[in-house]
Amino acid sequence: MPFVAENLGASATLATFILGLYAWGQFISTVIWGRLSDRFGRKRVLLVCIGGYVALSLVSALAWNFTVLAVIRLVQGFLSAGMTVVLPAMAL
């Protein structure tokens, strides 16, 4: 990802910021996905998270500037936090 960001014209500092957005997305949305899984069920939440992550991975390969890449990275972090829904099921 840092090489992709630098190829799009981002500095090393901006590329690091883009990488950090992924973690911020996870941090913000972990509780949200937990509440949604309680309301709608784990399977539906996982399908949304995995499908969205795959779609955004394909779009990130075609990102045309670093702003789009940053937004995609933030939303991917948001969607990857949905995997925390699986952890309670694995503990059973």
**pLDDT one-digit tens code per residue, 14-55:** 888 888 999 999 999 999 998 999 899 888 999 999 999 999
Amino acid (1-letter code) at residue 58 = L
Q: What is the pTM of this model?
A: 0.83
The two tokens of residue 81 are: 């936090």
How far CA 72 is from CA of 12, 13, 18, 56, 87, in Å, comes to: 18, 18, 9, 6, 25
Cα distance between residue 52 and residue 15, in whole Å = 23
Least confident of 10-14, 24-28, 69-73: 10-14
pLDDT at residue 92 tops 70? no
**pLDDT one-digit tens code per residue, 46-63:** 999 999 999 999 998 888
pLDDT at residue 13 tops 90? no
